[in-house]
């Protein structure tokens, strides 16, 4: 589980620290441009590293410096509890004068308090605990992140565990309109826009055929007339995803392009739930999952996701503006983000610490008729960040 995320000098973040700790679900709340989606972009950077992308120029560019402050380094720190072990990964980028591409200034992985590797620009050191063995020291291109490329027998398990967990992150900001009808097998991990959902589903079913019933069962809660789905082979690699509906004796088979945008979002959630069941523990971030859903569907949609992630000891982070989604999260797992204007960095506070909705007067029968301010009213009034 993600315990802590620290980001400095990256886009709208300066000394930004998000600590979901052991929460199975967390909500990011805030006005537009408060930095919620930037959290997803930071996670995407770690996800790319976990999936083997090491070239710095493909991960980050000079336009990512906060307010073009290129003289300062960009810092990322991620702490996670994976299995019984605590991982702390730190990655710092800099842009020296006359450089066009950023380079790695520092990189360090610590597991349970012990350094796995420590890097200073190009020099990487791996301490050896065994007597008689000297620390391994080697050099790598300063435009390459070390984590995806280090191969070391002594640290193989922890390196693989972290890389796999990072790479398995599911980050979603779906655009249902762009969802393809066809699985083409070129990329099996779900893209943020979910345009390749058929590929993700096909891959999941190939690895875990039992996931089929979970997906159908979940979809039938929303659309009881759904009978199932299947892939129809179109050529050597392409397979069309078709959804089958039945009402009495009548049946109808539709490509997913014929589904409503909200139905496509239910399909995404059904596959996410199945993936979570089969490949937990996962870290998933869903940017505004309520988009495209009818208001009366939102609450139970979010509840289903939260229940699944709690049950599987996975972790779900969502951002939302929707009252029905917001009501699903306790104060202690709701994080309010904000900034007064674009020249200021984003700040984040746990709602529990803000006491936004605490009673203004002590509760007693004399003052009990005074209505306490509630979170949703403050949201509607645009009054959730008076602490800024």
The token duo for 129 is 């605990």
Cα separation of 131 and 116, whole Å? 16
Answer yes or no whether residue 187 interacts with other proteins by CB under 8 A.
no
261-279 and 197-207 are packed helices; what angle lies between their axes, rounded to 10 degrees? 30
Cβ closer to other proteins: 126 or 302? 302
Answer yes or no whether residue 363 interacts with other proteins by CB under 8 A.
yes
Cα separation of 85 and 89, whole Å? 13
Cα separation of 322 and 336, whole Å? 14
Instruction: Answer whether 53's CB lies under 8 Å from 361's CB.
Output: no
Cβ closer to other proteins: 15 or 355? 355
Instruction: Answer whether 191's CB lies under 8 Å from 199's CB.
Output: no
CB of 334 vs other proteins, minimal distance in Å: 9
Q: Site for other proteins (CB under 8 A): which residue of 37, 161, 227, 357?
A: 357
Query: What does the longest C-alpha to C-alpha distance in the chain come to?
Result: 77
Residue appearing with tokens 């190939």: 206
Cα separation of 282 and 164, whole Å? 10
Instruction: Answer whether 143's CB lies under 8 Å from 103's CB.
Output: yes
Answer yes or no whether residue 364 interacts with other proteins by CB under 8 A.
yes
CB of 22 vs other proteins, minimal distance in Å: 9
Backbone angles phi, psi at 162, to 5 degrees: -65, -45
Instruction: Answer whether 290's CB lies under 8 Å from 325's CB.
Output: yes
Cβ closer to other proteins: 123 or 372? 372
CB of 360 vs other proteins, minimal distance in Å: 11
Draw the binding track, 266-285, toward other proteins (x: CB under 8 A; -: no contact): x-------------------
Cβ closer to other proteins: 60 or 172? 172
CB of 316 vs other proteins, minimal distance in Å: 11
Residue 80 CB coordination number (10 Å): 21
Name the segment binding other proteins (CB under 8 A); options: 12-20, 52-60, 76-84, 370-378: 370-378
CB of 291 vs other proteins, minimal distance in Å: 15
* Contact set for other proteins, span 297-326 (CB under 8 A): 297, 299-301, 303-304, 306-307, 310, 323
CB of 21 vs other proteins, minimal distance in Å: 10
CB proximity list for 369: less than 8 A, separation 6 or greater: none
Name the segment binding other proteins (CB under 8 A); options: 193-201, 204-212, 226-234, 295-303: 295-303
Q: Pick from 208, 261, 253: which is nearest to 231 by CA?
A: 253
Instruction: Answer whether 215's CB lies under 8 Å from 221's CB.
Output: no
Q: Site for other proteins (CB under 8 A): which residue of 210, 359, 380, 387?
A: 359
Q: Site for other proteins (CB under 8 A): which residue of 126, 158, 375, 379?
A: 375
Which helix (H) or strand (E) element contains residue 221?
helix 211-222
* Contact set for other proteins, span 324-353 (CB under 8 A): 327-333, 352
Cβ closer to other proteins: 67 or 378? 378
Q: Site for other proteins (CB under 8 A): which residue of 25, 109, 150, 275?
A: 25
Cα separation of 387 and 339, whole Å? 10
Name the segment binding other proteins (CB under 8 A); options: 121-129, 148-156, 278-286, 356-364: 356-364
CB of 20 vs other proteins, minimal distance in Å: 12
CB of 352 vs other proteins, minimal distance in Å: 7
Cα separation of 244 and 227, whole Å? 5
* Contact set for other proteins, span 195-224 (CB under 8 A): 221-222
The token duo for 74 is 């960009």
Q: Pick from 255, 328, 224, 248: which is nearest to 286 by CA?
A: 328
CB of 82 vs other proteins, minimal distance in Å: 21
Catalog residues that contact other proteins under the rule CB under 8 A.
23-25, 221-222, 266, 294, 296-297, 299-301, 303-304, 306-307, 310, 323, 327-333, 352, 357-359, 363-365, 368-376
């Amino acid at each position: 589980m993600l315990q802590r995320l620290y980001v400095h000098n990256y886009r709208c973040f300066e000394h930004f620290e998000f600590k979901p700790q052991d929460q199975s679900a967390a909500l990011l709340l805030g006005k537009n441009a408060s930095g919620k989606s930037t959290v997803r972009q930071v996670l995407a950077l770690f996800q790319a590293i976990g999936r083997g992308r090491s070239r710095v120029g493909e991960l980050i560019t000079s336009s990512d410096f906060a307010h073009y402050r290129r003289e300062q380094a960009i810092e990322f720190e991620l702490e996670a509890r994976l299995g019984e072990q605590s991982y702390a990964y730190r990655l710092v980028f800099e842009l020296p004068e006359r450089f066009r591409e950023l380079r790695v200034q520092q990189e360090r992985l610590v597991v349970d308090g012990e350094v796995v590797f420590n890097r200073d620009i190009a020099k990487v050191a791996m301490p050896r605990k065994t007597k008689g063995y000297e620390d391994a020291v080697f050099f790598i291109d300063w435009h390459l992140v070390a984590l995806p490329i280090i191969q070391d027998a002594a640290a193989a398990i922890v390196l693989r565990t972290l890389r796999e967990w990072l790479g398995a992150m599911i980050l979603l900001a779906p655009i249902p309109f762009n969802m393809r009808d066809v699985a083409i097998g070129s990329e099996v991990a779900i893209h943020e826009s979910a345009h390749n959902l058929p590929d993700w589903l096909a891959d999941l079913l190939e690895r875990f055929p039992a996931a089929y019933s979970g997906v159908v069962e979940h979809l039938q809660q929303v659309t009881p007339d759904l009978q199932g789905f299947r892939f129809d082979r179109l050529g050597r690699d392409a397979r069309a995803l078709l959804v089958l509906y039945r009402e009495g004796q009548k049946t109808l088979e539709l490509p997913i392009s014929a589904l409503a945008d909200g139905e496509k979002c239910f399909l995404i959630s059904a596959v996410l739930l199945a993936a979570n069941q089969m490949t937990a523990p996962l870290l998933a971030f869903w940017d505004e999952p309520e988009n495209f859903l009818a208001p009366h569907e939102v609450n139970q949609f979010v509840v289903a996701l939260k229940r699944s992630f709690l049950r599987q000891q996975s972790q779900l982070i969502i951002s939302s503006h929707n009252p029905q989604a917001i009501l699903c999260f306790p104060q202690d797992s709701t994080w309010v983000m904000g900034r007064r204007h674009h020249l200021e960095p984003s700040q984040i506070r746990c709602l529990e610490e803000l006491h936004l909705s605490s009673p203004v007067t002590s509760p007693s029968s004399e003052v009990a008729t005074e209505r306490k301010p509630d979170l949703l009213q403050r949201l509607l009034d645009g009054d959730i960040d008076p602490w800024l």
